[in-house]
Structure formats: C-alpha cells, structure tokens
Amino acid sequence: MSDEERVCAPSVEEYNRSLLRQVRRVLRGTGYLALRQIDCRVENGVVQLSGDVPSFYCKQIAQTAVLALKRVRRVENCLRVC
C-alpha cells in the first residue's frame, strides 16, 4: 500500500460508523416505527440487530432492508418478537 492509499483509506472505525449510519437510515426508511427503536452494531460489514419488535414480519423487514445495503456482508438478526 502506498503512502497515498494509507492517507486516503478510511480507518476501520470510520468504515463501521459510516455503515452504521446507513443501516439506521435504511431502517428509518422502512416506515415502521418499531425498527427505529432497535439496537444496531457493525463490525467489518457484519451487522447485529437486537431489541424487541412486534412481529416476525417486522423482524424480517429489518433483516431484508439491511441486507440490501452493498457493504453488508452478513446480518446477525437477534431481534426478539414480543
């Protein structure tokens, strides 16, 4: 890696923060209020969703919406239906 690439390449933390913002944006965009309340964690393209949702449908919508993001490699869907 050249010096220029090192300077221009985002850090892992910046990458994770950027992807987390995208994940939250896409969940807000679904229109389901319950999906705005869930906890999200990101590490190197792996997104973990946790918290409570009112239905299995909402759980699936969250996973599908997040998986549609290009930088997401995998979703760990730990959402609990209550």
pLDDT digits (tens, 9 = 90+) for 44-70: 999 999 999 999 999 999 999 999 999
Rounded Cα–Cα distance for residues 16 and 36 (Å): 19
**CATH (domain of 68):** 3.30.1340
Interior angle at CA 21, CA 17 and CA 24, nearest 5: 135
pTM of the model: 0.85
Residue 3 lies in a domain: no
pLDDT at position 8 = 63
Residue 33 lies in a domain: yes
Residue 72 lies in a domain: yes
Please count the structural domains in the chain.
Answer: 1
Rounded Cα–Cα distance for residues 2 and 53 (Å): 46
Residue 41 lies in a domain: yes
Residue 2 lies in a domain: no
Residue 22 lies in a domain: yes
Q: Give the domain range for residue 36.
A: 12-81
Residue 21 lies in a domain: yes
pLDDT at position 13 = 92
